[in-house]
């Protein structure tokens, strides 16, 4: 088995990701403290609204960014986005009004909506061995957990000697270092057939493939449970710790670290777990854990029990999120990965678009206990839907029937043979006779509908 870390390009990209998410972790804490400074007890409302704007950027702009990136070289595209995010985050220390938080967060996340799916789609092009890619997914999960573990630890050290404004500078340094590492590697070129596809089709292709694939519809339902749990952690941890329990900033950081520890423990064992169990079972188990932990948090636990529940919330979210890239790569051709990763990014974050403002506003209006119970119900409903939408029998190969059809495709389309240089400048006309056969099935131009009953 190829080890993901043996690939030099991947090692540098992993380090770039670590530095980027570590910087983002500092921003998450600093943004919560900035909101508390400006709004006091209504910090949850401010932070919930800011994060809802983040989700609007993710949901609305990720498909547009994917359609544009198909015609842009990956390397300068990723570097430019890192530099733009560094510039915007440096403006946050100068914020004096709540609306300024909203404006800067939206701009910052608009660039992230372009960066993250492009980065995610690049990794399976580098690591073509599935076992190595599965390892890489766990490493990726671990790097995101640094946002909840090492980020708070570093934030605590900074806050002991400086104000939280210094955390924003740390974020900018992380993005600049990430840009430098991306600049130091050679990235695989994107498939030219994707660039030849009309913009309107590129804009909707990822969502079409995603919503036509049963396992991905089930995945989307599971992300509702993840959104319900992580929204409570991100939006209301500062309110629970400082307003309800009466502790200081350091204990806020400790709660975020507890969630990160739970997630990291899962990421460390998940490659072996996925080697013996199907992703569906693992991911559904994680969503059930999230539902139970949210319900228990609604009983108003003390400090110790609350920290334990934060660990469980982190573990449950990791069980759902970490295998996601594996499902995406199994559900599309290589040339459709950027579009499908963008669709996953946008559609899954639609769940957070609901969960963030709900967690903030309901928490302020009805109290945290009621809000936890509402979120537990929402997570439980998502588990039920996932059971229904994602069939337990989900083989890679499916027998299916093709009717006779005629169509045109762009020259260089990898689903077809090479017609020669003479035809390179014009569309190629095809006629396919009807047939019934079996092969690894994914949604594409020749397989626009999932086989009935599967």
Contacts of range 179-183, beta carbons closer than 8 Å, 24 or more positions apart: 179/16, 179/78, 179/79, 179/82, 179/83, 179/86, 181/12, 181/13, 181/15, 181/16, 181/19, 182/12, 182/13, 182/16, 182/75, 182/78, 182/79, 182/82, 183/75, 183/79
Q: Determine the pLDDT at residue 423.
A: 44
Instruction: Give me the tens of pLDDT residue by residue for the chain, a chain 454 residues long.
Output: 457 888 888 899 888 888 877 777 677 677 777 777 777 767 767 776 777 787 788 787 877 877 777 677 888 889 998 999 888 888 887 877 888 878 887 888 888 888 888 888 888 888 888 788 888 888 888 777 666 566 666 766 776 676 667 777 878 888 899 999 999 988 877 665 555 565 567 678 888 899 999 999 999 999 999 999 999 998 888 888 888 877 887 788 788 888 888 988 888 888 888 877 889 999 999 999 999 999 999 988 888 888 999 999 999 999 999 899 889 988 888 778 888 888 888 888 888 888 888 998 898 888 899 999 999 999 999 999 999 999 988 777 676 666 666 666 555 454 554 444 434 445 566 666 666 766 777 887 777 787 876 5
Q: What's the pLDDT score for residue 420? A: 44
The pLDDT score that the predictor gives to residue 49 is: 77
What is the residue-wise DSSP string for 350-385?
HHHHHHHHHHHHHHHHH-HHHHHHHHHHHHHHHHHH
| pLDDT at position 365 | 87
pLDDT in tens, 238-284: 888 888 877 887 788 788 888 888 988 888 888 888 877 889 999 99
pLDDT digits (tens, 9 = 90+) for 123-140: 888 888 878 888 888 888
The structure's pTM equals: 0.77
Contacts of 285 (CB under 8 A, 6+ apart): 319
Q: Specify the 3-state DSSP secondary structure of 432.
A: strand
Beta-sheet pairing, 397-402 with 428-432: unpaired
Give the pLDDT of residue 307.
Answer: 92
Q: Between helices 165-183 and 74-89, what is the axis angle to 10°? A: 170
Tokens in use for 268? 């460390």
Q: Domains for the chain: give ranges and CATH numbers.
A: 4-389 (1.20.1250.20), 397-440 (no CATH)
């Amino acid at each position: 088995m190829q080890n993901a870390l043996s690939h030099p390009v991947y090692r540098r990209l992993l380090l770039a990701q670590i530095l980027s998410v570590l910087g983002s972790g500092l921003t998450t804490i600093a943004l919560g403290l900035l909101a508390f400074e400006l709004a006091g007890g209504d910090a949850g409302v401010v932070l919930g609204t800011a994060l809802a704007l983040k989700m609007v950027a993710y949901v609305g702009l990720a498909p547009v960014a994917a359609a544009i990136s198909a015609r842009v070289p990956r390397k300068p595209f990723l570097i430019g986005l890192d530099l733009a995010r560094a510039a915007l985050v440096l403006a946050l220390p100068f914020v004096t009004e709540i609306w300024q938080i909203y404006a800067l967060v939206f701009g910052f996340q608009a660039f992230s909506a372009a960066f993250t799916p492009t980065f995610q789609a690049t990794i399976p092009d580098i690591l073509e061995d599935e076992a190595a890619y599965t390892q890489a997914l766990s490493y990726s999960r671990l790097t995101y957990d640094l946002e909840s573990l090492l980020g708070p630890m570093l934030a605590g050290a900074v806050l002991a000697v400086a104000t939280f404004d210094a955390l924003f500078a740390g974020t900018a340094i992380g993005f600049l270092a990430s840009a430098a590492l991306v600049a130091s590697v050679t990235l695989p070129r994107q498939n030219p057939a994707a660039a030849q596809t009309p913009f309107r089709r590129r804009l909707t292709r990822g969502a079409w493939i995603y919503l036509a694939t049963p396992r991905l519809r089930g995945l989307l339902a599971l992300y509702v449970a993840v959104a319900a749990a992580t929204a409570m952690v991100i939006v209301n941890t500062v309110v629970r710790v400082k307003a309800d329990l009466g502790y200081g900033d350091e204990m806020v950081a400790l709660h975020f670290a507890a969630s990160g520890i739970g997630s990291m423990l899962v990421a460390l064992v998940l490659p072996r777990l996925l080697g013996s169990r199907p992703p569906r079972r693992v991911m559904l188990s994680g969503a059930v854990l999230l539902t139970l932990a949210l319900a228990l948090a609604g009983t108003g636990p003390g400090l110790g029990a609350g920290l334990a529940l934060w660990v469980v919330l982190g573990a449950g979210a990791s069980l759902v999120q970490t295998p996601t890239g594996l499902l995406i790569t199994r559900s599309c051709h290589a040339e459709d990965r950027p579009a499908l990763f963008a669709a996953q990014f946008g559609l899954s974050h639609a769940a957070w678009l609901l969960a963030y403002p709900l967690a903030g506003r309901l928490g302020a209006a009805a109290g945290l206990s009621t809000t936890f119970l509402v979120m537990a119900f929402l997570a439980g409903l998502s588990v039920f839907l996932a059971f229904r939408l994602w069939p337990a029998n989900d083989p890679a190969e499916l027998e299916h029937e093709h009717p006779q059809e005629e169509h045109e495709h762009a020259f260089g389309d990898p689903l077809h043979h090479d017609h020669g240089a003479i035809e390179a400048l014009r569309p190629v006309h095809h006629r396919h006779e009807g047939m019934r056969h079996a092969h690894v099935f994914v949604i594409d131009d020749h397989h626009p509908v999932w086989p009935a009953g599967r």
